Amino acid sequence: LACVRDVEAVVNIRKLLKEDVLEVKKLYLKEGTASLYVAADGRQNFDVFVTDTTDTTSSAFPFDWISAEKLSISHFNVGYTDDVSHMQVRVEDFNTDVKASLSEDSFDGNVKINLERLFFHLSDSTEMKAALQDVSMKLKGAMDGKVFSGSLQCEMPMLDFEMDSLHYAETASVR
């Protein structure tokens, strides 16, 4: 399912035990690979938690507050195959830096992404390839159930998109 060469995590244990706050000071994942698979019958290799189908109560947010001062993922590769929808996705050399705070009803965060290669293929279509460099997003807002309302600012100074060996977007600046 997944393999990560280096993992470093710093968690404020006192806040977790006394205040029910998950405060992650740092989480670094370096040089990893994940292989996700959905079989034709819908079974998934990443569904690692046993679910209780008899429980009809709504699930509650497990912590009063989550704060991630620094999340960094570098040189990560992901493969995803879905036999139900006949889709294959491959992500090569994914890098991100995230700083965020999340509660049951609000979100505030900054995200930076570099993605060297993204391959997307449906069995009845042509493979698409993309690369993103220096993507920067800022999110701030409130959550009402599954609905997010607030602001999203995204800057994408470099995008390369190719299909059938034709470049549809190359070194574009999107704001």
Confidence band, pLDDT 50/70/90 cuts, at residue 76: very high
**Over residues 46-54, mean pLDDT:** 65
Identify the pLDDT of residue 49. Answer: 57
Confidence band, pLDDT 50/70/90 cuts, at residue 167: confident
Q: Give the mean pLDDT of the chain.
A: 84
**Over residues 81-103, mean pLDDT:** 91
- With 60 as the cut, is the pLDDT of residue 93 above it? yes
| Stretch among 54-58, 98-102, 135-139, 156-160 having the lowest mean pLDDT | 54-58
- Residue 24 CB partners (closer than 8 Å, separation 6+): 9, 10, 11, 66, 67, 68, 69, 70, 71
Identify the pLDDT of residue 161. Answer: 85
